[in-house]
Structure 1
Amino acid sequence: MGQPDGGWYDETPPQVIAESPSDGATGVNSKKATLYFSEYIKIDNPTENVVVSPPQKEAPEIKNEGKKISVKLIDDLKPNTTYTIDFSNAISDNNEGNPLGNYTYTFSTGDHIDTMEVAGCVVEADNLEPVKGILVGLYDNFADSAFTTLPMLRVARTDDTGHFDIKGVRNGKYHVFALQDADNNYIFNAKSEMIAFDKTVYATTCRPDIRQDTIWRDSLHIQDIKRIPYTHFLPDNIVLRAFNEELTDRYFQKADRAEADHFSLIFTYGDSEMPRIKGLNFNADNAFIVEPSVNTDTITYWLRDSALVDQDTLNIQLQYRMTDSTGTLVPQTDTLQILSKQPYEKRLKKQQEQFDKWKKAQEKRKKKGESYQTVMPAEVLKPDYNIGSTINPDQTPTIYMPKPLARMDTAKIHLYEKIDTTWTPIPFQIGEDPSRPRTYRLIGEWRPGRQYSLETDSMAFTDIYGHVSAADKQGFRVPEEDEYNTLPVNITGFDGKHIVVRLLDQSGKTIKEQASDNSQVVFQWIKPGTYYMSMFVDDNRNGRWDTGDYKANRQPEALYYYDDKIERKAKWDDVVTWNPTAKPLNQQKPSRLVKTKSTAQKKIKNRNAERAKSLGIPYIPGQTGVTEKK
């Protein structure tokens, strides 16, 4: 006795049995096409996955109707033009989801079909991540203004791996561009759009070639190897580096007062001139401690007076410079009402709750005959000591203050080194990091194999509201020298270039960085482990990677990845030699560091092989009946 299981699975992809007009038809003057299939089918997200070329201003109507797909173009047909409707991997059968595979329907309004193809990939210029879903298009007009005034001639969209294949191309010479087209006009007209441009002139060509197709019976055994002739279209290895231009237009975005004691003014871009504030319901003279960000696009104002902190609404007149329609900075005056997200009444209630909780605890201690407090302790300043239990000899510990300091008493800060068995005072320096507000750097001589103790007396730090720090002690050590290794790196092919080389951990985070003018760097004090490496050419020597600018014809600074992991053990000092241009950019970034993971590709599930195995019978690909077990 048993229960029927439905028999063999359908593993046959849908087949195209007819097209109207037929695929490859010439002299077509109809804007409608119908594709007929051998079974019921479905289309996965045609808006994103189906690309019509040449690009259409009005989105075409693509409908799935049982065993057919109807396509209606809204734009007028262009004369003597090859049209391609690239369905990619979007078509599958309705029941089992067996994909048809890469399918492109082609017709021409002229007397022939253009058959050339242009292929390659797009990566992000600043990290070599593949760019999914960006448009890639061709221009035969080589003027710089073409990209900003004319729509692309033919387009394709990149897949999960950043790969693109532009089909139906007329034999000729082209520029290749990529565009994250926000307004669907196939023109670069907004600085917020990601772009890539290549001034190389690519000539289309093709040649006969052979590819090897391997059919696997299972993951370990090859069933068949075939050498299949095909037409190899070139170029097929273009690599475009996509980037977003720096948004230099300056506008005021918002005022934010997340906490009562400070507020921030946020702009889209910085300015060498600081805004001017006039208080409308308070006196703004000497009312603030001002903390601008490094590029002055965010400016934080700390309120000095506690009475002003308790004021829920601050009305101000803000004078600043903004970008007008010509791109020029002009004076602008706004009136703002800045509201505290922590109203005074709510803060009073919270303080009362804290007092009641403290009082209850003291009364409980009193009843038990334990020591208790009669006055609630004042709020203390709590510095954040960014000092681990171990540090490297080249490391700089930091201390972060939650609020601006009014005073730092260095006489109450002590640094000790354990020499033999004696804790000995040693010299140090402490000062604010100019690039990070309220962050103080502790600079000392850290020797391998030594222990240290940073000790602060009470009242070493006092903030602008009178809160003082409590006594604190931070102990740390520096490992022995033989617990480290040294990593010398020789880089070939970049003589005369100013480069910045970064050592990365297994998450891709930069842990060390060095600049060089002679293509050699040495990373010292490296702990045993697995590392990765990247570098960029610092053309303007500003110490950071810079994006590109199309109008200025400036490409983003070149960035590369060492294409393998780097294993290091203690006391190693062997040299790593690296040629950053030995591999194409899209093949450099190690897979562990790639954040943009490919989604599962549609494929036949091959469940009949599993079923045959469970039944203990031979599996014959394509079988539709049961073979008896012998």
Structure 2
Amino acid sequence: MLNPKSVIFSKNFIFILAVLTFVGCASIQKPMGGPRDLTPPKLLKATPENMTRNFTAKKIRLDFDEFFKLSNQYQEISISPAQEKPAEYNVDRKSLVIEFKDSLQKNTTYVINFGKAIQDVNESNVLTNFTYVFSTGPHIDSLSMSGTVINSTTQEKEKDATVMIFPVSQDSLIFGKKKPSIFTTTDSSGNFSLNNLHDGEYKIYALKEQSPNKIFDNDKELIGFSNKTINLSKDSANIKLSLFQQIPEKFRLTEKKFTNDGILSLIFNKRLDNPSLKIIYPPALDNQKIVDISKTKDTALVFMRNMEFDSLRVAIYDNNKPIDTIYQLKGLKEKFARNLTFKYNINRDNKLRPNADLRITANLPVETFDQGLIALTQDSVNITNFTVQKDTADARSVLLKYRFRPGSKYQLLLNESAFTDIYGDKNKRTGANFEGDKPENYSQLTLKITVPDTSKRYVVELLNEQKTVMRSDPVRGNTSVVYKNFLTGKYRVRVIYDANRNGRWDSGNVRLKAQPENIWLYEKEIILRPNWEAEEPVSIPREQANP
């Protein structure tokens, strides 16, 4: 006779096994091994069908070939024309169900743009620029706009930029305030296409942003626009939009704080022409302060010998005109942990340029130094016939002067207490190893510049492989620009059409309808070889009209 407990256990075991098997089959599992899936979900069927005329349905069902997820759907998905009551989006296994909560206008073409909302489950591959189109009447709008988006400073095609249009009657009401209802995203070649458009007058913009809300609302975002109103009565092609970072019209501080070293750090929201600072309170500190303005003129560091204060009031000037006043609190007896550190003017290969002094730059202003505590060896041999002197233009730097020999190896040793900063702090034992670079590793380049119009101004820039501007030279006519002692490597030439003749590139402004100054990138890559004098003719083309 069977044990009743055994029978019950067997039945329960079979039931549990069946449940686990069902759950295991039903759950979405990430495949193990094999090549990575790079394919986004694919539409298999739409009910009603895409491009349906005389549309009367309340729901749309989209069936895909795989499980998917919706990402930020109420931000990414747009319906044009916009509806007062937003539609609902629900995922039903491999299907997306869209349910309208508002009535549809008669004889109107609707375009649902899904942006980047639809992604597969495992790899988050995005189904980009997917649209569903229908009309509540017998006609579907079929006009289109297409073109290219480039970066104005690099002149490269810009992928994943949002291109949006607004009817002229709504432009000032919506742009920069609300998400557009008609938009698309550029492909990997910077191309875009907007389809199924109604005839009418439109304003067009391009936007590159980090937080994709499709609203131009951040100083760090890139924006591009056309000065022309697009009168869409037929397809419009070859539209060119140039992205630029707009310089804020109003000055403000993006950051103000005391660092761990007790330095007042101020970061501006834009570059200033000729910035300066004045400590208003306590007034006695103003004559003691040391101000370090960055080369980009958008950051200031303020060092104060006397730190016995509980608050600061600092006036910020540009071209000797006050533009802001800031307040900063500090504990009266607050202590700061300082560590005197150094950096040197040696390159990434730890080499010092020929005929250059060794610049030693501290993180804090240097009060004194003791040359007797500074040691230098050349090829492991101690040398003493060097001198050290303060850099009168930089309170944080000293210059070690010596006839450094090309190819020789040097070891610099800064013994403990060799340097004392303005607060009385002394350095710990540190140093650097470097090599005197050889002159044959450097070259000379001469650009023979030909300009298209001698009445206009241009700025010629030389860029290295990292696209860093190595030098900038304003030119006004046919001339030669000579670059001496430049490291061997690859370089590019970029030319600014300097419309306002200030010797630098100026950005645009959407509100003022001002385009950025045009830039031309010389198509040829210039290679500088060791110990070589190169000459390159550069003929600047005529400036193309802004869009």
Give the structure-1-normalised TM-score.
Answer: 0.59
**Does the aligned pair in 2 maintain the 1:485–1:528 contact within 8 Å?**
no
SS at match of 2:277: coil
Q: Does 1:336 align with 2:296?
A: no
Pairing of 1:74-153 with structure 2 (within 5 A): 77-78=104-105, 80-87=107-114, 103-128=130-155, 131=158, 133-141=160-168, 145=172, 147=175, 152=180
By how many angstroms is 1:70 displaced?
1.7
CA shift, 1:318, in A, is 2.8
Pairwise CA distance, 1:243:
2.3
CA contact (8 A) 2:346 2:353 kept: no
The one of 445, 449, 452 aligned to 1:486: 445
Task: Give the Å deviation of 1:43.
Answer: 5.0
SS in 1 for 2:251: coil
Which residue pairs with 1:42 in the alignment?
A: 68
* Counterpart in the other structure of 2:362: 401
- Structure-to-structure mapping, 1:469-484, within 5 angstroms: 477=436, 479-480=438-439, 484=443
**Tell me, which stretches of 5 or more residues in structure 1 are unaligned?**
1-8, 207-232, 323-327, 348-378, 414-422, 586-630
Q: Does 1:302 align with 2:303?
A: yes
Rounded to whole Å, the distance in 2 between the matches of 1:482 and 1:96 is: 47
2-structure distance, mates of 1:177, 1:441: 51
Paired-residue identity, %: 23
Distance 1:141 1:86, change over 3 A: closer
Alignment of 1:558 with 2:518, yes or no, is: yes
Stretch of structure 1 that moved more, 469-478 or 61-70: 469-478
Aligned to 1:510: 469
Residues 394/480 of structure 1: CA separation in 2 closer, same or farther (3 Å cut) = closer
Contact 1:537 1:557 in 2 (8 A): yes
Letter in 2 for 1:166: L
Q: 1:243 to 1:59 in 2, by over 3 A?
A: farther
- C-alpha distance in 1, partners of 2:176/2:432? 61
* Contact 2:163–2:204 (Cα < 8 Å) also in 1: yes
Q: Residue 605 of structure 1 aligns with which residue?
A: none
Whether contact under 8 Å (1:255, 1:266) holds in the other structure is no
Distance 1:392 1:432, change over 3 A: same
Residues 120 and 237, structure 1, Cα contact 8 Å, conserved in 2: yes
Kept in 2: contact 1:258–1:341 (CA 8 A): no
Q: Which amino acid aligns with 2:223?
A: I
List per-residue Cα deviations over 1:38-71 (Å, max 9, x = no partner).
Answer: 7555356363765543456776433332353222
In the other structure, the counterpart of 2:491 is 531
Deviation at 1:235, TM superposition (A): 0.7
Shift of 1:558: 2.4
Cα deviation, residue 198, structure 1: 1.0
Aligned partners of 1:333, 1:475: CA distance in 2, in Å?
A: 43
Residues 416-435 of structure 1 mapped to structure 2, 5 A cutoff = 431-433=391-393
Question: What amino acid sits opposite 1:438 in the alignment?
Answer: R
For the 8 Å contact 2:449–2:539, the answer to whether it is kept is yes
Q: Deviations over 1:256-308 (max 9, x none)?
A: 23125x443556567967354545xxx95468423153587654343425xx5
Q: Is the 8 A contact 2:388 2:398 kept in 1?
A: no
Alignment of 1:195-210 (within 5 A): 195-204=223-232
In 1, the alpha carbon distance for the partners of 2:220 and 2:511 equals 14
Q: What's the counterpart of residue 464 of structure 1? A: 422
Where do 1:156-167 residues align within 5 Å?
156-159=184-187, 161-167=189-195
Shift of 1:115: 0.9
Contact conserved, 1:142 with 1:175, CA < 8 A, in 2?
no
Amino acid at match of 2:534: D
Q: Per-residue CA shift, 1:336-389, capped at 9, x if unaligned?
A: 234898667xx9xxxxxxxxxxxxxxxxxxxxxxxxxxxxxxx9x775442467
Matched residues in 2 for 1:108 and 1:100: separation?
A: 23
Asked whether the equivalents of residues 162 and 186 of structure 2 are also in contact (C-alpha less than 8 Å), the reply is yes
Cα distance change on mapping 1:581 and 1:102 into 2, 3 Å: farther
Q: Offset of 1:569 from its aligned partner?
A: 2.6
Structure 2 CA distance, aligned partners of 1:158 and 1:575?
36
How many pairs were matched up? Answer: 490
Which residue matches 2:25? none
Distance in structure 1 (CA, Å) of the matches to 2:280 and 2:423: 22
| 1:467-515 superposed Cα distances (whole Å, 9 cap, x missing partner) | 689999998656346962425254665652321312212x323334433
3-state SS of paired residue (1:535)? strand
Show CA shifts across 1:88-122 (max 9, x none). 78768889999988643211244421112212233
Confirm or deny that 1:575 pairs with 2:536: yes
Structure 1 residues 581, 542: closer, same or farther in 2, change over 3 A?
closer
Q: Distance in 1 between matches of 2:522 and 2:277?
A: 42
CA contact 1:57–1:184 (8 Å) conserved in 2: no
Q: Name 2:31's counterpart in structure 1.
A: none
Which residue is 1:593 aligned to? none
Distance verdict in 2 for CA 1:29–1:189, change over 3 Å: farther
- Residues of 2 paired with 1:250 and 1:85: CA distance? 40
- The residue type paired with residue 289 of structure 1 is K
Deviates more, 1:483-492 or 1:240-249: 483-492
Matched letter for residue 149 of structure 2: V
Cα distance change on mapping 1:132 and 1:72 into 2, 3 Å: farther
Q: Which has the higher contact order (CA 8 A, sep 6+)?
A: 1
1:335 CA displacement? 6.6
Q: CA 1:528–1:302 in structure 2 vs 1: closer, same or farther (change >3 Å)?
A: closer
Q: Does 1:521 align with 2:514?
A: no
Query: Which whole-Å CA distance do the structure 1 matches of 2:130 and 2:166 have between them?
Result: 25
CA contact (8 A) 1:500 1:543 kept: no
Answer yes or no: is the 8 Å Cα contact 2:443–2:528 preserved in 1: no
Which of 242, 258, 261 aligns to 1:259? It is 261
Using the TM superposition, give the Cα deviation of residue 252 of structure 1 relative to its aligned residue in structure 2, in angstroms.
Answer: 7.5
**Match of 2:513, SS?**
coil
Q: Could you tell me whether the CA contact under 8 Å between 2:463 and 2:494 is conserved in 1?
A: yes
Whole-Å separation in 1 of the counterparts to 2:66 and 2:392? 69
Checking the alignment, whether the CA contact within 8 Å between 2:360 and 2:399 is kept in structure 1 is: yes
Counterpart CA distance in 2 for 1:334 and 1:84 is 52
Conserved 8 A contact 2:71-2:119:
no
The aligned counterpart of 2:92 is: 65
Distance of aligned partners of 1:58 and 1:491 in 2 relative to their CA distance in 1, 3 Å threshold:
farther
Asked if structure 2 preserves the Cα contact closer than 8 Å seen for 1:133 and 1:157, the reply is: yes
Alignment of 1:212-611 (within 5 A): 234-246=236-248, 248-251=250-253, 253-260=255-262, 262-265=263-266, 268=269, 274=277, 276=279, 278=281, 285=285, 288-294=288-294, 298-305=299-306, 308=307, 314-316=309-311, 318=313, 320=315, 334=327, 336-338=329-331, 384-387=343-346, 392=353, 398-406=359-367, 431-433=391-393, 438-439=396-397, 463-465=421-423, 477=436, 479-480=438-439, 484-488=443-447, 490=449, 493=452, 496-505=456-465, 507-518=466-477, 521-563=481-523, 565-570=525-530, 571-577=532-538
State the Cα distance separating 1:157 from its structure 2 match: 3.1
Q: CA RMSD in A?
A: 5.7
Unaligned runs of 5+ in 2: 1-34, 375-382
Provide the rounded CA distance (Å) in 2 between the counterparts of 1:185 and 1:99: 17
Q: How has the CA–CA distance of structure 1 residues 33 and 127 changed in structure 2, closer, same or farther, with 3 Å as cutoff? A: farther
Cα displacement (A) at 1:199: 0.8
1:15-49 Cα offsets, whole Å, 9 max, x none, are 544422x422334465x441343755535636376
CA contact (8 A) 2:206 2:225 kept: yes
